[in-house]
Homo-oligomer: A and B are copies of this chain.
Amino acid sequence: MRVTLASANPDKAAEIVEIVTPLGLDVEPRPPGLADVDETDDSLDGNARLKAMAVAVAANAPALADDTGLEVDALDGAPGVRTARYAGEHATYADNVEKLLAALRDVPDARRTARFRTVAMVCWPDGREVLAEGVVAGRIADAARGDRGFGYDPVFIPDEGDGRTFAEMSDAEKHALSHRGRALRALAGKLG
């Protein structure tokens, strides 16, 4: 099956292509010249739907989007739906990580539990959709470690791993455990 990618984030787009291509999804790049879609919804699936539907209509083809939230227990679930723009609308990955580490500065290791959650969705121009979610539990490291991946990868230590952050893992190791890997494999299975 062929889908048009709705994500405008090149790191995320590269990761999506890497995960879904072996699953038989043929990914077309996002059409050039499309305006960014404002993520105005208060839920991950609402924002994924906004992005996928906008691109599906513009491209007149099924479009694939995801939205990801990092839910930190000690912050009552924040940054959550604001994960990508935690430190402001034009925040860099480093800004977001810095803000998170500062917010957790006095929180001991046992209370740094968190979850990464991704909703992945394909929408068709006629309004149909297929959706799947992937989750991984872990904790927030005391300091950034590793130079792979992107976003909060340097400070997220998955419980199902061996103590390394996502940014210290190879892409294959990360995708096997990650929220996005799980969501996209589940989505591909439902489309299959």
Shortest distance between the CB of A162 and any CB in chain B (Å): 6
Contact with B along A108-123 (1 / 0, CB 8 A): 0010010101000000
**B residues less than 8 Å from A135 (CB atoms):** 115, 135-137
A132 close to chain B: CB less than 8 A: yes
Known interface pairs A159-B186, A182-B160, A183-B159. Does A110 touch B133 (Cβ–Cβ under 8 Å)? no
A: interface residue count bin? 20 to 34
**B residues less than 8 Å from A24 (CB atoms):** none
Shortest distance between the CB of A17 and any CB in chain B (Å): 20
Whether the Cβ atoms of A134 and B160 lie closer than 8 Å is yes
A189 close to chain B: CB less than 8 A: yes
**B residues less than 8 Å from A162 (CB atoms):** 189
**B residues less than 8 Å from A82 (CB atoms):** none
Q: Which of A60-118 contact B (CB under 8 A)?
A: 110, 113, 115, 117
Shortest distance between the CB of A113 and any CB in chain B (Å): 7
Q: How far is the CA of A159 from the CA of B131 in the complex (A)?
A: 9
Q: How far is the CA of A186 from the CA of B137 in the complex (A)?
A: 10
A51 close to chain B: CB less than 8 A: no
Q: List 8 A-B contacts (CB under 8 A).
A: A115-B133, A115-B135, A132-B160, A134-B160, A137-B182, A159-B182, A160-B186, A160-B189
Given contacts A45-B113, A160-B185, 11 further A-B contacts (CB under 8 A): A110-B129, A115-B133, A132-B137, A133-B138, A133-B159, A134-B160, A137-B183, A158-B186, A159-B182, A161-B186, A162-B189
